[in-house]
Amino acid sequence: MGEEIRDQRHPVAILSNPFNVFATCDIGEALDLLRKRGYEVEVYPDPKAPAKRLIIEKVHSGIDGLITTLRDQIDAEVFEAGKGTLKVVAQIAVGFDNINRADANRYKIPFTNTADVLTEATAEFAFFMLGALARKLWASEHLTRKNQWGFWHPYLPFLGDEVTGKTIAIIGTGRIGLAMIKKCAGFDMNILCYDPAYQNHEYVKAIRETMDLRHARGIQYVSFEEALSQADFVSVHVPLLHEGESDTPTFHLFNQRTLRMMKPTAFLVNTSRGPVIDENALAKALKENWIAGAALDVYEKEPLPADSPLRDPAIEDRCRLFPHFASAGKITRLSTDPDKGMAGRCVQGLIDVLEKNYGGDVKKMPYVVNKEAFES
């Protein structure tokens, strides 16, 4: 294929047949790693996502690789356009609910994601959201900025809730859920874990031992109902899974029925995917004080529409809204190192497939998600 002339991590190959790649978004310097290897890289220049028909047009033109963000709908239409030519879809995100896995498998197109490198960034942001909500950081800064801080008073105009020592429910104990547990253990929280598909008892035991040493509170797996009914904070770390994609789908996992299971003093934090929460139900729950507050980073429709019920001024004091920002650290998003940055990992996933690393065995490639499509 080509002579390798540089470092181990990103050996530069002089390719006789350069690969053609279309990126639906600029992902920074990591794209230069591809150009240095002789790839032809076209980048959609607008910061907004391209229309699906443009993606289809590019794929139809015969590109080898497609770099996508969570804003792009990748399904049978796209794979059909790339039949015989498209070899890989590389997504810059850990979540891949925008990619139709069954369609990718049918067309036998591997797709990659950028798990792990955003785990700590996302978990710490979830924790900060929780803190901002509980201690009313937004309302108290507004008070100061609007020059409405007239006096120091023991309880006026409002008080917050302490986080230390409280009970948190972690819904989904995968990579980010476990990282969140670590942050919460540092604040001596009592931790209730819920995950129907993956339970890491070894990790929970290790955290419990550290807590015991510090005479801190406990940690255990419980049922969804127990987690919701006992927690002061509920933090959501599940993938978006629709009916038919899982035995325990997460679409509208939080709805009128389940929100009513939470304590009226409890707070909900969501950094997973918007459709995991029924937003109309949440707006009602906040307005009618079924729960004390919510902090959201993700929405059913992004960007958050101007007429969203979550923007209702009546719930402004207890509803914190962020712009899908949890992984938005500079190194996390843009480092060209696949062990540090989403951009680096995205590009490495693409290179692995196109340059047939790991002996060309897709099942051995660490960033390929849909390995099941390549079982013989």
C-alpha span between 319 and 283 (Å, rounded):
9
CA-nearest of 109, 117, 66, 67 to 84 is 109
Residues 6+ apart with CB under 8 A from 360: none
CB of 34 to ligand NAD, least distance (A): 24
* Candidate residues 21, 231, 234, 238; the one interacting with ligand NAD per rule CB under 6 A: 238
Near ligand NAD in 171-200, by CB under 6 A: 171-177, 194-198
Based on the number of CB atoms within 10 Å of its own CB, is 272 exposed (0-12), middle (13-18) or buried (19 or more)?
A: buried
Is residue 273 within the footprint of ligand NAD (CB under 6 A)? yes
Is residue 131 within the footprint of ligand NAD (CB under 6 A)? no
Residues 6+ apart with CB under 8 A from 80: 107
Interface segment toward ligand NAD; rule CB under 6 A; list 11-19, 170-178, 207-215, 341-349: 170-178
Pairing of strands 293-296, 267-270: parallel
Is residue 302 within the footprint of ligand NAD (CB under 6 A)? no
C-alpha span between 84 and 62 (Å, rounded):
8
Residues 6+ apart with CB under 8 A from 356: 1
Near ligand NAD in 314-353, by CB under 6 A: 324, 326-327
Residues 6+ apart with CB under 8 A from 242: 249, 251
| 260 noted as active-site residue | no
| Residue 222 main-chain phi, psi, to 5 deg | -135, 180
C-alpha span between 153 and 169 (Å, rounded):
33
Nearer to ligand NAD, 97 or 232 (CB): 97
Interface segment toward ligand NAD; rule CB under 6 A; list 10-18, 38-46, 206-214, 231-239: 231-239
Is residue 369 within the footprint of ligand NAD (CB under 6 A)? no
Taken as a whole, the chain contains a residue count of: 376
Task: Measure the N-to-C terminal CA separation of the chain; round to a whole number of Å.
Answer: 26
Size of the site for ligand NAD (CB under 6 A): 35
C-alpha span between 12 and 35 (Å, rounded):
10
| 135 noted as active-site residue | no
Per-residue contact track with ligand NAD, 206 to 225, x per CB under 6 A? Answer: --------------------
Q: Identify the active-site residue in 208, 217, 324, 345.
A: 324
Q: Identify the active-site residue in 273, 320, 333, 345.
A: 273
Interface segment toward ligand NAD; rule CB under 6 A; list 32-40, 47-55, 102-110, 240-248: 240-248
* Candidate residues 94, 262, 269, 369; the one interacting with ligand NAD per rule CB under 6 A: 94
| 302 noted as active-site residue | yes
Q: Summarize as ranges the residues that interact with ligand NAD (CB under 6 A).
A: 94-95, 115, 118-119, 122, 171-177, 194-198, 237-241, 246, 248, 250, 253, 271-273, 297-298, 324, 326-327
Q: Which residues are catalytic?
A: 273, 302, 324
